[in-house]
């Protein structure tokens, strides 16, 4: 199972919106609505911020949203804040009953 494809880095200024893409295949992202996104601050444990493509855990800011079109899922963060600076990973369930992660995207808030 090949890793999902994410951009290595994205950046934005406070208040702006950014979108991180996550491209897979029909055997993972395109075939299931089981895409999730994780935020990892330096030295911390990853934290789920989006599950099942577009659902947010209870208490998570509505600034985070997810979507999917075909084999590509996307994470959008609106109203960027300095605290959003972190690494972001997508993950998808697959047709082999396994999971696959993206390579990760480093978000820099300028």
Phi, psi of 72 (to 5 degrees): -120, 125
Binding mask 32-71 for another protein (x = CB under 8 A): x-x-x-x-x----xxxx--xx----x--------------
Q: Which residues contact 97 (CB under 8 A, 6 or more apart)?
A: none
DSSP 3-state of 63 = coil
Partners of 106 in beta bridges: 9, 87
Q: Which of 15, 70, 79, 103 binds another protein (CB under 8 A)?
A: 103
Q: Under the rule (CB under 8 A), what is the footprint of another protein?
A: 1, 3, 32, 34, 36, 38, 40, 45-48, 51-52, 57, 87, 89, 91, 93, 96-104
């Amino acid at each position: 199972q090949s890793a999902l494809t994410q951009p290595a880095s994205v950046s934005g200024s406070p208040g702006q919106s950014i979108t991180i893409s996550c491209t897979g295949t029909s055997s993972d992202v395109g075939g299931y609505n089981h895409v999730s996104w994780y935020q990892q601050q330096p030295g911390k444990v990853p934290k789920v911020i989006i599950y099942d493509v577009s659902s947010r855990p209870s208490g998570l800011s509505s600034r985070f949203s997810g979507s999917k079109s075909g084999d590509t899922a996307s994470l959008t963060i609106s109203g960027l804040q300095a605290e959003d600076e972190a690494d972001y990973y997508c993950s998808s369930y697959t047709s082999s009953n396994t999971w696959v992660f993206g390579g990760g995207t480093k978000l820099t808030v300028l």
